[in-house]
Amino acid sequence: MAIETERADRTLIVRINRPEALNALDVDSMRALNEALREFRDDPELLVGVVTGTGDRAFCTGADLKRTLPPRTSFAQSYFAPYEQSVDDGLYVRAITLSELNIGKPLIAAVNGHALGGGAEIALDCDLRIAGESATFGLPEARWASVPAVGGVSKLLRAVPRAVAMKMILTGERIGAEEAHRIGLVSDLVPDGDLLPAALDLADRIAANGPLAVKSLKALAERTQDLPLTQSVAVEQLLWGVLRDTEDRVEGRTAFAERRPPAYRGR
């Protein structure tokens, strides 16, 4: 299978499994990745997702260039066609845009090897990125006379200093894991063999917190990043009020007073 999933307690591991193609995605595997993440989104038992690649050479190298050649239909025909038809007709980038899935739970990219093009964009779509020492990151589309099409430019500009992002975008050159960690593109840098255990440990630490609070924090991060400070604070106060009377918030305070781990239920 091009996309494999595995449950690890309250975490779902989503593994891109096309190592013979450096985990590049054709249209079928893009659809399968979307389906796996929709199932994660809708399963109340799963609290955190980890996206990674099979093998040690690549996380994901984006669209499979050999299997995503231009179609016979015009772009206008594809653009205005229904979703499934537009993907079949060559607008396959719609099937790789994870942000449109509206996943309210945290996603962690465990980047093993190359994260290039659409693969880098998948990593940028995740809330957290950790990298093995052999990881590389790049948006090489300019080298193939194209541009990133699923938010790579805007998301990279938000993730790292502008000058660094522009150099990566305009040259198409990749950076290594140490540089990615230095500029803040990834939060953690670990030995390759420790990558998945480190991602699962991070997922467990997130899953131990109040589920409604975690979802609220992700929503705050996404919805307030472009707002003026006064509006951001107003949204924070509103979500604080939403959580104030929940069972979990009471349980958190009770557990603290009783010096025991809280037992959150997402209520």
Average pLDDT of the segment spanning 44-59: 96
DSSP per-residue codes, the chain: --EEEEEETTEEEEEE--GGGTT-B-HHHHHHHHHHHHHHHH-TT--EEEEEESSSSEEE-SB-TTS----SS-HHHHHTS-HHHHHHTT-GGGGS-GGGG---S-EEEEE-SEEETHHHHHHHHSSEEEEETT-EEE-GGGGGT----SSHHHHHHHHS-HHHHHHHHHH---EEHHHHHHTTSSSEEE-GGGHHHHHHHHHHHHHTS-HHHHHHHHHHHHHHTTS-HHHHHHHHHHHHHHHHT-HHHHHHHHHHHHTS-------
In this predicted structure, the answer to whether residue 176 has a pLDDT above a threshold of 80 is yes
Q: Per-residue pLDDT tens for 69-97?
A: 666 778 787 778 787 777 776 677 777 77
Q: Per-residue pLDDT tens for 124-160?
A: 999 999 999 999 999 999 998 889 988 899 999 999 9
pLDDT for 134 equals 96
Half-sphere exposure of 15 (CA within 13 A, CB side): 16
pLDDT for 149 equals 84
Q: Could you give the residue numbers annotated as active site?
A: 121, 141
Q: Per-residue pLDDT tens for 15-29?
A: 999 999 999 998 889
In this predicted structure, the answer to whether residue 10 has a pLDDT above a threshold of 90 is yes
pLDDT for 37 equals 95
pLDDT for 236 equals 93
Q: Residue 64: pLDDT band by 50, 70, 90 thresholds?
A: confident
pLDDT for 68 equals 63
Distance CA 51, CA 123 (A): 8
Average pLDDT of the segment spanning 98-104: 86
Average pLDDT of the segment spanning 61-66: 80
Question: Directed axis angle between helix 211-224 and helix 229-244, to 10°?
Answer: 160
Between 29 and 12, the higher pLDDT residue: 12
Average pLDDT of the segment spanning 186-206: 97
Average pLDDT of the segment spanning 232-246: 93
pLDDT for 183 equals 97
Q: What is the mean pLDDT of the chain?
A: 91
In this predicted structure, the answer to whether residue 44 has a pLDDT above a threshold of 90 is yes
In this predicted structure, the answer to whether residue 247 has a pLDDT above a threshold of 70 is yes
Average pLDDT of the segment spanning 190-200: 97
In this predicted structure, the answer to whether residue 107 has a pLDDT above a threshold of 80 is yes
